[in-house]
């Protein structure tokens, strides 16, 4: 099968969509499929990976000039359409604003190619997703819809007159599962209770991820624990609010025990998780939470917000705990700091039980959706006109 994955954001940018599309492409190629990733991130020559299975992964970087190819909408659509020659399915990965992915879905349906859209973002308050109006007008027939979590799917179903499947992000748990072999904590007391409680989180420092709420929760933790209990917090990531967070942490006297190392590679992040006691995900509007899933696979109990996409793989009292509001999140963190038995119970489960979103299952479900998209395309021939296509 030839699969075209279309995403506005891709490596070297780091984020949930970027990492998922890269890993999905590698997994599909390893299964013997030919994969082309089309992205507007960066510019330059394409790169190619050929796994032993015989499939291949090609990355086609269009860069910003893709929008100026040809003259007007028809010329730009024609330039994009040429990349779909021989494709069995076009899989568009969209966020709140994803002009390339939106146009790819519309272009695929116009030429009669099977198309699947996966929505990776949710909006506060169930706001109308900007992409749905444009895509509904441009591709009224034969388009297959999916979302990365039930939380996103619930929003999407309110605005799309078609079934919406849940198609999770995937993970390979193996690289994250070294936590069980970590050395004993040198700060452990006579009775084995660690005197240093380490909180970790990995996030983009942007308002949507609520890093300042995370600082509030950490400050609350520090004030609630006995002075003899040391606290260490490691917040990994980069983004527009990192400088503000650093300034606030300095002003509040948190820097002696709060570390802000910036962006880390996966191997380095796994090392941070290996020394952690609990992972905190403060975002309310988290569509999935790949970093939290990685921490869960590393054996860390996860504290997250109820109603977010993290609920796909964190169940109350099993993989972690879910907070109803910010105050509750702070209470849960204090409780975990004081309850070594709960941390051990959840940590043992997370270290030994594979999540249901491992790649083997996600790839199988993705291929199922590709076949469903192909069946939908056969039932609904390509539109002869593009009403509302200018909205794309």
Residue-wise pLDDT tens digits, 55-64: 899 999 986 6
Q: Per-residue pLDDT tens for 187-209?
A: 333 334 447 999 999 999 999 99
181 or 97, higher pLDDT: 97
Q: How confident is the model at residue 105 (pLDDT cuts 50, 70, 90)?
A: very high
Average of per-residue pLDDT across 60-74 = 61
Encode pLDDT of 222-275 as tens digits. Answer: 999 998 889 999 999 999 999 999 999 999 999 999 999 999 998 999 999 999
Q: What pLDDT was estimated at residue 62?
A: 85
**CB atoms near residue 206 (< 10 Å):** 15
The CA distance from 205 to 13, in Å, is 14
What 8-state DSSP symbol labels residue 381? Answer: P
- In what helix (H) or strand (E) does residue 70 lie, and over which residues does it extend? none
Which neighbouring-strand residues pair with 316? 320
Q: What is the pLDDT of residue 48?
A: 61
358 pairs with which residues across the strands? 171
- The model carries a pTM of 0.86
Determine the pLDDT at residue 337: 97
Phi, then psi, of 107 in degrees rounded to 5: -65, -40
Question: How far is Cα 173 from Cα 298, in angstroms, rounded to an integer?
Answer: 8
Give the residue among 111, 63, 69 at the shortest CA–CA distance from 87: 111
Sequence-separated (6 or more) residues with CB below 8 Å from residue 387: 137, 138, 140
Token readout for 25 is: 């492409």
- In the chain, % helix, strand, coil (3-state, to 5) comes to 45, 20, 35
- Treating both helix axes as pointing N-terminal to C-terminal, what angle do 16-30 and 290-297 enclose, rounded to 10 degrees? 60
Residue 122 has pLDDT above 60, yes or no: yes
- What confidence category does residue 44 fall into, taking pLDDT thresholds of 50, 70 and 90? very low
Q: Identify the pLDDT of residue 64.
A: 60
Q: Quick one: average pLDDT of 6-22? A: 91
Residue 91 CA to residue 113 CA, distance in Å, equals 10
Residue in the structure block whose two tokens are 């020659």: 85
| Rounded CA separation 60/37 (Å) | 6
Most confidently predicted of 8-12, 23-27, 65-69, 176-180: 23-27
Cβ 17 vs Cβ 41: under 8 Å: no
Confidence category of residue 131, pLDDT binned at 50, 70, 90: low
Q: Is 109 helix (H, G, I), strand (E, B) or coil?
A: helix
Distance, CA of 375 to chain centre: 28
Residue-wise burial string across 43-80, b where 16 or more C-beta atoms lie within 10 A, e elsewhere: eeeeeeeeeeeebbbbbbbbeeebeeeeeeeeebbebb
Bridge partners, residue 257, by sequence: none
Residue 30 has pLDDT above 90, yes or no: yes
The neighbour count for residue 231, using CB atoms within 10 Å, is 17
- Token code pair at residue 213: 């709420």
Domains annotated for the chain, with CATH where assigned, are: 2-170+359-391 (3.40.50.2000), 174-352 (3.40.50.2000)
């Amino acid at each position: 099968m030839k699969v075209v994955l279309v995403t506005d954001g891709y490596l070297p940018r780091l984020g949930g969509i970027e990492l998922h599309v890269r890993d999905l492409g590698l997994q599909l190629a390893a299964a013997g499929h030919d994969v082309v990733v089309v992205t507007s991130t960066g510019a330059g020559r394409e790169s190619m990976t050929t796994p032993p299975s015989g499939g291949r992964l090609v990355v086609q970087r269009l860069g910003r000039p893709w929008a100026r190819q040809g003259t007007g909408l028809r010329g730009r659509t024609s330039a994009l359409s040429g990349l779909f020659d021989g494709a069995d399915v076009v899989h568009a990965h969209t966020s709140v604003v994803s002009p390339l992915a939106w146009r790819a879905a519309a272009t695929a349906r116009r030429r009669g190619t099977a198309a699947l859209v996966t929505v990776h973002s949710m909006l506060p308050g169930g706001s109308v997703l900007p992409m749905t109006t444009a895509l509904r007008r441009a591709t009224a027939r034969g388009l297959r819809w999916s979302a990365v979590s039930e939380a996103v799917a619930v929003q999407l179903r309110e605005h799309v007159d078609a079934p919406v499947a849940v198609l999770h992000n995937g993970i390979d748990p193996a690289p994250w599962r070294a936590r069980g072999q970590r050395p004993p904590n040198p700060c452990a007391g006579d009775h084995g209770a660690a005197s240093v409680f380490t909180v970790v989180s990995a996030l983009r420092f942007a308002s949507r991820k609520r890093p300042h709420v995370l600082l509030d929760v950490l400050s609350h933790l520090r004030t609630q624990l006995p002075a003899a209990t040391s606290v260490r917090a490691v917040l990994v990531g980069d983004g527009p609010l990192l400088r503000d967070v650093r300034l606030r942490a300095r002003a509040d006297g948190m820097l002696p025990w709060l570390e802000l190392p910036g962006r880390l590679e996966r191997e380095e992040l796994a090392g941070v998780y290996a020394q952690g006691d609990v992972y905190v995900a403060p975002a309310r509007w988290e569509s999935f939470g790949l970093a939290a899933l990685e921490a869960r696979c590393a054996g860390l109990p996860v504290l997250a917000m109820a109603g977010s996409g993290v609920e796909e793989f964190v169940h109350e009292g099993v993989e972690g705990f879910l907070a109803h509001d910010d105050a509750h999140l702070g209470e849960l963190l204090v409780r975990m700091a004081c309850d070594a038995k709960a941390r051990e119970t959840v940590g043992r489960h997370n270290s030994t039980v594979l999540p249901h979103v491992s790649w083997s299952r996600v790839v199988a479900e993705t291929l199922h959706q590709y076949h469903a998209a192909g069946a939908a395309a056969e039932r609904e021939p390509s539109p002869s006109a593009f009403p509302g296509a200018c909205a794309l």
